[in-house]
Amino acid sequence: MTRMLRERVGSINMPPMPSSSTPPRAILIDTDTASDDAVALAMALRHPDLDVKAITVVAGNVALPRGLTNALYTVELCDRDVPVFAGADRPLVRQAVDASWFHGDDGMGGHDYQPSQRAAETTHAVDAIIRTVRQHPGIEVVTLGPLTNMAMAIAQAPDMVQNISRCVVMGGAACTEGNVTPAAEYNIWCDPEAAQMVFISGMKIEMVGWELSRGEANLNASDIAKLRAIDTPLSHFTVDCNRRSIEANAEQSGEVGIPLPDPIAMAVAINPSICTSRSSHRVMVETQSELTRGMTVVDRLNVSGDDRNRGRWSDTHPTAEPIDICWAIDVPRWKALLFDLVA
């Protein structure tokens, strides 16, 4: 369990460092870096209890080169020296379909942020994931994009999953509507085959669906004013890079404010108690139907474990470890954590 922030974050040029004898938690982040990913990356990079070992980028919200640029810029903005690796430039078997309409052509609200100094590593992200996980038993993984890189890594090194203490997946829509089709959330819809491979890999997965970023969890006008008042480069960046997503949010769902699914997943990763309702269930991903492509089918009532229902689901699908589903979050605490980390 994460402790309270040991110190308030100071100047943007002086990121907080771990101060106790407890070593920081090793973490790897896989991301299709657009605006909400960037905020999530910043939260992890700025948190004193986390040691971000690697950032691996996958095609998704934006094309791979742009996602790479956005991730590198964010690392630079946070004044951290964390390696960034380029991974898959398309889903496993499907065409790439980005979400630039939601995040802006550059994924960052049209600001065209460019890193001035940093460049990506030459190692492929999949190799970097395997190497990093093997080097750091107990590492935590947070995925913020389509699961292509993770699926490829698991396929190449299935033993790797034993070293991952938990994998927090921003993805899916647990027993509710999606944001890219009525059935599916974007990250899972984008590469459903990869998601299915990851979900049945035996890894300890916590699913944080997009629905948790809706309603009161959006950053409202008051929250945005608070970020402006914090008045750091990072607090302004949090608002500015989401300029387009504010408009898109209103167009798509009629909701007002900045939706931040990736930062909410990161908040749950940082402090699991921000998730206030969770339970474990088998989850399968639809890969056959175009109607429900990428749907995360959650066995909420655990009917597949009922002998009377065997043969209806369990026998026709691979056995999988249950996945932890986050059903609700503590909205004030999620926002407070964000404000702390961008101050």
| Residues near Ca ion, by CB under 5 A | 32, 37, 144-145, 262
| Integer Cα distance of 194 and 150 in angstroms | 8
Task: State the minimum distance, in angstroms, from the CB of residue 32 to Ca ion.
Answer: 5
H helices of 14-77, in order, are: 35-46, 64-77
Beta strands in 144-281 (DSSP E): 164-170, 205-208, 275-281
Q: Which is nearer to Ca ion, 48 or 67 (CB)?
A: 67
Q: Is 28 helix (H, G, I), strand (E, B) or coil?
A: strand
- Closer Cβ to Ca ion, 257 or 261, answer by number: 261
Neighbour tally for 220: CB within 10 Å: 15
Least distance in Å: CB of 178 to Ca ion?
A: 15
Beta strands in 191-235 (DSSP E): 205-208
Q: How far apart are CB 231 and Ca ion at their closest, in Å?
A: 27
- CA terminus-to-terminus distance, the chain: 23
Q: Alpha helices, DSSP H only, in 113-147?
A: 125-135
CB of 310 to Ca ion, least distance (A): 37
Question: Could you give phi then psi for residue 173, rounded to 5 degrees?
Answer: -140, 105
Q: Residue 128 in contact with residue 14, Cβ under 8 Å? A: no
β partners of residue 278: 326
Closer residue to Ca ion, CB minimum distance, 145 or 257? 145
Residue 145 or residue 178: which is nearer to Ca ion going by CB? 145
Q: How far is the CB of 144 from Ca ion (least distance, A)?
A: 4
Nearer Cβ to Ca ion, position 40 or 323?
40
Closest approach of Cβ 262 to Ca ion, in Å?
5
With beta carbons less than 8 A apart as the criterion, state whether 235 and 47 touch. Answer: no
**Closest separation between CB of residue 35 and Ca ion, Å?**
9
Nearer to Ca ion, 9 or 147 (CB): 147
CB nearer to Ca ion: pick between 163 and 210: 210
138: region left, alpha or beta (phi > 0 left; psi from -120 to 50 alpha): left
Helix 233-240 and helix 221-230, axial crossing angle in degrees, nearest 10: 150
> Measured from the CB of residue 15, what is the shortest distance to Ca ion in angstroms?
23
Segments of 107-245 assigned E as strands? 139-143, 164-170, 205-208
How many other CB atoms sit within 10 Å of the CB of residue 108? Answer: 28
CA distances from 276 to 258, 280, 283 (A): 22, 14, 20
